[in-house]
Amino acid sequence: MRKNKRGHLPGLPKGRRQHGNMIALVGAIGAGLLVALLLFALAYTRLLGGNQEQRTAIEAASLAAAKDLGRIVLKDDHFGWVSLSDYAPTGSMTKAPDGLYQPVYSINTILATIRLDMIMADQVAAATGNPASIATWKNLADKDYNAAMTAKSNLSALLQNSLLPGGDPNAKDIQGVAVLPYVSAENAYKQNNMRGTGGSAYVNGSLKLTLGCLDGGSETTVSVPTPSSKASLGGAPTQNGKYMSFTNYPYNGKNFVFTAAGSSIKLIDKKNFKPTLGLPYFVPSVVMAEADQKFFDNGDTSKPARIVHSLSCAQPACITDPRPAPGLFIADFVDGQVPKSIDRPSDLWNQSQLNAGPNPASMQTPQGGDYNGPGSTGTLVPDSSLGSSTLPPANGIAAAMHDWLRQGGHKVNIDSVIAMVNGVGLPGGKFQANQMYKWRIDQNGNISVTASGAFKEPYIACSENQLYMQCTDALDEIDASLPPPGNKTSPWALYMKDECRQWGDVNGGQHAGQPLPVTGTPLAYNPAEKWIACLPDALPDTAIAMNGNAGTVKLGDLGAMGSGANDRSGGTIATTPLPVYRLDDFAEPGLVALNYLYTQGSPAGGIMPPQYLQNGAAVTVRFRVELANVSTPTVEGHVKK
């Protein structure tokens, strides 16, 4: 580079010198901003990550608490076992005295079933001429409703107490295992919190669980009555054929409000959580979980920079019990004829003499054990559970109809019930002699009937604390060509056993009101003349012979062996060879080798009842022709008192 005239190097232009300084300044500022942005991004990422992890943790806590709420079961005097969810008979804590497990009914199932029972009572009454006996059916549905109000209050209290940090000692699942929703929720929160960034921690003891409702409701698992045209919904909303939770569906002056329990456990928008709602009543089932999380800056755990409160809501699930075999309604006519005025089931509670005849039925119940079963210890005592221990027989059968349909739950089809009572499906369109009819309810609520020879019936005792009805001279056939009183022909006696009148082992006895198994050896009978004889002297008097027409028999107060198969009033021993006609009711003893499941015992831990999967006897009805004595060898029937 050339020097100037004075020998010096030329200087740089003033503008270039300033431009270089600006570049350096901008670079320094940019680097500083970049570092600040990186630090902010890191802090923001940690903040977002912390918030997301906290949200995940509190959601896990609410779901864990909701799951536990659905596990809790409560023993109830009237219904047996109650919960937010149905459970099949698989739990050891539900074991009845006979060693068989009992089912658990959700409070929604109970309410939906009662509402359906009320509707069916009105529908059946309208279809059969509004007989007075249906009042008994309606009264039983009202009693169930009152009991449900008690059960829902007790269940609500138990659920509320279970959410406390210490839980409730009565909160247990079907296996008897303690259920602690608070502990489960806190553990779920902590386990999810451990996966965090390390810049935050759970505030110990800050978890709070609150039980409440869901504003607007949600779809439940209980079905509205079918067909929907007879469901009497009054415009109330439904979803997919199911009732909505926290919505009132009144019927006949009774309020029906279902709780939130869907097909799966799920999160609920916290905006829709309400501690209470303006409803006649409700069972709170939506749980809100709240917890505090403390956040630290720069790893300094000595003092949190902030504390963040979070909450989440969830509802439990209801596992629907399909009820594969709710039990049989059985009727048979074993004496070679059928009452002329009894053609179909509706006649059982609609026939005039059965409704208001001169001879009321005796309502009894076995106490101290089953009545007239092998090795049974029960004795019959008057039963006033239907309002009186003496009622028209039609009232007893209407009660049994209610009890049988109640076994089917909330899915029973109303039209199918109407068809059943009107005799639809009966071979020949009406009852036939020497036939046994068995009605069953399938899992979709539809009713079907099968017919078989009446002699195929195995031994069926009356369960402890259940209903036994007997009525001699229940109705008479009238021969209009003859003057009274000789115009009465073929007087009929009527016998009924309702094995499902009382549920649970508190009120329902050792079998808890469950249907009796009907597997076993058929009754011995003479196929030629259809009479039954006793075994020889060397064998028990109460057994029945395979063949032959001579032996010993106890003659009790109603004839051969009294009420049922056992002699309950002394009786006498007849040793002369004579044909002994079918005993005076349908609880006739079978062979010595009969497979009578209830008296054989079960494993100490209990088992699922076999009649849960295979229909047992819920109700059995039998008409008998009354005989003045046993000296007429050509006529069948029971021995008239």
pLDDT > 70 in the chain, percent: 71
pLDDT of residue 6: 55
Residue-wise pLDDT tens digits, 230-271: 999 999 999 999 999 999 999 999 999 999 999 999 999 999
Rounded Cα distance, 306 and 313, in Å? 24
User: Where do the domains of the chain lie?
Assistant: 52-69+180-321, 328-526+592-639
543 versus 46: which is more confidently predicted?
A: 46
Mean pLDDT of the chain: 79
**Residue 625: pLDDT band with limits 50, 70, 90:** confident
What one-letter code names the amino acid at 559? G
pLDDT score, position 558: 25
For residue 633, what pLDDT is reported? 38
Q: How far apart are CA 581 and CA 226, in angstroms?
A: 45
Q: Rank 175-184, 301-310, 541-550 by mean pLDDT and report only the highest.
A: 175-184
Mean pLDDT of 214-230: 97
- Place 394 in a pLDDT band, splitting at 50, 70 and 90: very high
Per-residue pLDDT tens for 172-212?
A: 999 999 999 999 999 999 998 765 556 788 999 999 999 99
Residue 576 pLDDT exceeds 50: no
What is the band of 4 on the pLDDT scale with cuts at 50, 70, 90? low
Alpha carbon distance 376, 405 (integer Å): 28
Tokens of 100: 């068989």
Bridging pattern class, strands 200-202 and 105-106: unpaired
* Angle, vertex CA 502, rays to CA 501 and CA 505, nearest 5: 145
Q: Which pLDDT belongs to residue 299?
A: 66
The residue ranking higher by pLDDT, 337 or 11, is: 337
pLDDT for res 121: 98
Distance CA 65, CA 207 (A): 11
Whether the upstream peptide bond of residue 458 has omega within 30° of 0, thus cis, is no
Query: Given a cut of 60, is residue 587 above it in pLDDT?
Result: no
Q: Answer yes or no: is pLDDT of 568 > 50.
A: no
Q: What average pLDDT does this structure show over 503-528?
A: 69
Strands 361-367 and 390-391: antiparallel
Counting residues of the chain whose pLDDT is more than 90, the rounded percentage is 56
Provide the pLDDT for residue 523. Answer: 33
201 or 558, greater pLDDT:
201
What is the torsional sign of CA 161, 163, 167, 171? positive
Dihedral over Cα of 146, 149, 152, 153: its sign: negative
> pTM for the full model?
0.82
Quote the CA–CA distance of 10 and 65 in Å, as a whole number.
85
Contacts of residue 580, Cβ cutoff 8 Å, sequence gap at least 6: 531, 532, 533, 534, 549, 551, 553, 560, 630
Selection from 545, 543, 581, 547 nearest residue 565 by Cα:
543
Contact yes or no for 437/330 (Cβ under 8 A):
yes
Q: What pLDDT is attached to residue 461?
A: 74
pLDDT at 468: 93
User: What is the DSSP annotation of 347-412?
Assistant: HHHHSHHHHH-SSPEEEEEEESS-BSSTT---EEEE--TTS-SEE-HHHHHHHHHHHHHHHTGGG-
Nearest partner of 457 among 345, 332, 339, 566, judged by Cα: 332
Report the pLDDT averaged over residues 411-425: 97
**Banded model confidence at residue 344, pLDDT cuts 50, 70, 90:** very high
For range 321-326, the mean pLDDT:
93
Phi, psi of 338, rounded to the nearest 5 degrees:
-125, 140
Per-residue pLDDT band for 54 (boundaries 50, 70, 90) equals confident
* Confidence band of 90 (pLDDT split at 50, 70, 90): very high
User: Residue 337 has what pLDDT?
Assistant: 80
**Residue 510 pLDDT > 60:** yes
d(CA 74, CA 82): 5
pLDDT for 9 equals 52
Q: How confident is the model at residue 532 (pLDDT cuts 50, 70, 90)?
A: very low
Q: What is the pLDDT of residue 548?
A: 28
Q: Are 92 and 325 in contact (CB under 8 A)?
A: no
351-393 pLDDT, tens digit each: 989 998 778 999 999 999 887 654 567 888 999 999 999 999 9
- Arithmetic mean of pLDDT, 268-290: 97
How would DSSP label each residue in 216-278?
Answer: T--EEEEEPPSSGGGS--TT--EETTEEETT-B--BTTB--B----BSS-EEE-GGGEES--S
In the prediction, which pLDDT does 85 show?
97
In Å, how far from its chain's centre is CA 463?
19
pLDDT of amino acid 436: 85
Dist. CA 208–CA 187, nearest whole Å: 13
As beta bridge partners, residue 338 has none
Tell me which residue of 467, 602, 580 sits closest to 529, measured CA to CA: 580
Neighbours of 22 (CB within 10 A): 9
What's the CA gap between 59 and 313, in Å, rounded? 7
pLDDT at 620 exceeding the cut of 70: yes
Average pLDDT of the residues in 454-462: 57
Query: How much is the pLDDT for 3?
Result: 53
Using the predicted structure, report yes or no on whether residue 410 has a pLDDT greater than 90. Answer: yes
